[in-house]
Amino acid sequence: MQSNIEKFTLRQEGDQLFLRREGEDADTAVKVVWARPITTRGGEISIMTQDQKELFTLPNLEALDPESRKAAEGDLARRYILPRITRVKEATATFGIRYWQVQTDRGERHFAMRHAYKNAVWLTDDHLVLQDTLGCRYEIKPYSALDERSRAEVEKVL
């Protein structure tokens, strides 16, 4: 059951999530985001309007009724697809920009990354998240599972 004072439900319609407040007939298009998407995914969530206004924060998905939780989980799954890098074919650095050619669990990808000090985040000694110039994220987990050449490519640019 929801922990917020105001009661509401969430429902999915196509690719859009809608919130309906108790006692109202109108729906509001919303999105569900992790409040801290990299460090505490699975914890606190925010329900936001499409123009980035936060409506509610909840301690976790369990705070929602079962149907709303299912809708929120679907929205989160679409929003936070993180391709897992399984091999680094080549990584180079030119004028501060890192260029990556990688194999992921979703196919081959090419991307560029600026500011390695803030866009390459080690979550643990064995879990690395990279963010490219377009805001897409990629993870290397476990880092120790990469082949020796892949690890050498990563170390060359980080």
Q: Per-residue confidence of the chain (158 residues) as pLDDT tens digits?
A: 344 447 899 999 988 999 999 999 999 999 999 887 656 667 889 999 989 899 989 999 999 999 999 999 988 888 888 899 999 999 999 999 999 999 999 999 999 999 999 999 998 999 999 999 987 889 999 999 999 999 999 999 99
119: closest CA among 146, 100, 145? 100
Let me know: does 130 contact 136? Beta carbons within 8 Å: no
Q: How far is CA 152 from CA 19, 101, 158, in A?
A: 48, 14, 10
pTM: 0.62
Determine the Cα–Cα distance for residues 27 and 21; give it in Å rounded to an integer: 8
Let me know: does 99 contact 91? Beta carbons within 8 Å: yes
